[in-house]
Amino acid sequence: MGPPDFTDSAVEKPQDSGHSLGAGPWGRRGVLSPRSAPSVEGPRPGLELLRVVGDGSHRNSLPGLCRGPWDHLQAEVVPKPSIWAKPGPMITRGSPVTLWCQGSLQATAYTLYRERAPEPWVTRITPNFSSKTSFHIESSSSQHAGLYECAYYTTEHKLSERSDPLLLVVTGVDRAPSLSAQPSPVVASGGSMSLVCRSQDTSGTFHLLKEGGADPPRHMEPQSRSNAESTYAQATFPVGPVNSSHGGTYRCYGSSRSHPNQWSHPSDPLHLAFTDYTLENLIRMGMAGLVLVVLGVLLFQARNSPGRIHDAART
């Protein structure tokens, strides 16, 4: 996919260094177009836009910032920035997401790269030397899925090393698979079980996630199965030995081979519970011990009061 379409109406509030990307794949505002990029007409509050063309030159460059091909500016590497997504790197199609890039207090411009391309997808000028900037997507689409990296320019016109890549996954593209537990969603501590994802639409990979969990998603290629009614894809994720960390709610997604970062709608939630038989046995043993103590006390009282028992028998 080529660079997004920008209009020169994207003006950001200086205090938050955030930039909104609107219609086209990125929205009506702030989109760079190879057909009609805006000219840079001098400093404006908020942000300025820099057009990048296919041969690596800059047709509407700012004096002193871009003086030649990108490779010339990468001769001396400065520390790389960090990149992250809010509210997170996995977003539902149609929902908003913001990509943040944090560099240095001496940053004069930020560049956003897509799918490890050699040239920037978007470049933004920060006249107030902001330490970070944002690229806002008002309504995400399947076209926004993929890898993103960012970099920044220093006041000495040096381009930093690129950030570590950020993978943006867009969900809600296809129908949801089903998720079930075998043999049961309730399992004893120390036991084993399997979570099974199944779908007639998935041809690439199944993805298993635990809601609110710190672990990354698990991925598995499906196997083709069939019954009397249909043919379907299925992946079986083993779980175990089960302990308290495995409890929680799980969902399954599917994706195609051609678009691995565009996931389906999520499956219905499946809650996994575990029982600690060791604890239950300790409780049972404690209750049995308490009963034995009570019986022992009663027998002791009976042995030490034979006269009372005999009198009670006469009456």
CATH number at residue 153: 2.60.40.10
Highest mean pLDDT (candidates 21-30, 44-53, 272-281)? 272-281
Identify whether residues 130 and 258 lie together within a single domain: no
12 lies in some domain: no
Minimum mean pLDDT among 48-62, 84-98, 200-214, 231-245: which range? 48-62
In the structure encoding, which two tokens stand for residue 256, read together?
């195609």
Identify whether residues 86 and 208 lie together within a single domain: no
Q: Is 1 exposed, middle or buried (0-12, 13-18, 19+ CB in 10 A)?
A: exposed
Minimum mean pLDDT among 9-18, 178-187, 282-291: which range? 9-18
Domain stop point among 171, 186, 208: 171
pLDDT number for residue 282: 57
100 lies in some domain: yes
pTM of the model: 0.64
Identify whether residues 88 and 107 lie together within a single domain: yes
Domain stop point among 116, 137, 171: 171
4 lies in some domain: no
The range of the structural domain enclosing residue 238 comes to 178-275
Q: Is 6 exposed, middle or buried (0-12, 13-18, 19+ CB in 10 A)?
A: buried
11 lies in some domain: no
Identify whether residues 97 and 143 lie together within a single domain: yes
8 lies in some domain: no
Identify whether residues 87 and 100 lie together within a single domain: yes
What 3-state DSSP class applies to 253? strand
Each residue of 262-288: b (16+ CB within 10 Å) or e? bbbbbbeebebebeeeeeeeeeeeeee
Q: Is 282 left (phi over 0), alpha (psi -120 to 50) or beta?
A: alpha
Number of domains in the chain: 3
294 lies in some domain: yes
pLDDT digits (tens, 9 = 90+) for 65-113: 444 444 444 445 588 999 999 999 999 999 999 999 999 888 999 999 9
Domain stop point among 139, 171, 203: 171
Helices (H), 187-305: 277-303
Identify whether residues 78 and 208 lie together within a single domain: no
Q: What is the mean pLDDT of residues 27-34?
A: 35
In order of 126, 147, 198, 201, the CA distances from 251 in angstroms are 41, 23, 12, 16
Close Cβ partners of 169 (under 8 Å, ≥ 6 residues apart): 89, 90, 91, 145, 261, 262, 263
137 lies in some domain: yes
Mean pLDDT of the chain: 75
5 lies in some domain: no
Give Cα 163 distance to the centre of its chain.
17
Residue 174: count of CB within 10 angstroms of its CB:
19
Identify whether residues 245 and 286 lie together within a single domain: no
Identify whether residues 79 and 22 lie together within a single domain: yes
pLDDT digits (tens, 9 = 90+) for 234-271: 999 999 888 888 888 999 999 999 999 999 999 999 99
The percent of residues above 70 in pLDDT, for the chain, comes to 68
Cβ atoms of 3 and 135 within 8 Å: the answer is no
Identify whether residues 268 and 288 lie together within a single domain: no
pLDDT number for residue 278: 54
Residue 220: count of CB within 10 angstroms of its CB:
15
Torsion angle, alpha carbons of 55, 57, 59, 62, to 10: 160
Identify whether residues 148 and 26 lie together within a single domain: yes
DSSP state at residue 218:
E
Identify whether residues 195 and 164 lie together within a single domain: no
**pLDDT bucket at 26, cuts 50 / 70 / 90:** very low
DSSP state at residue 299:
H
What 3-state DSSP class applies to 87? coil
Identify whether residues 129 and 224 lie together within a single domain: no
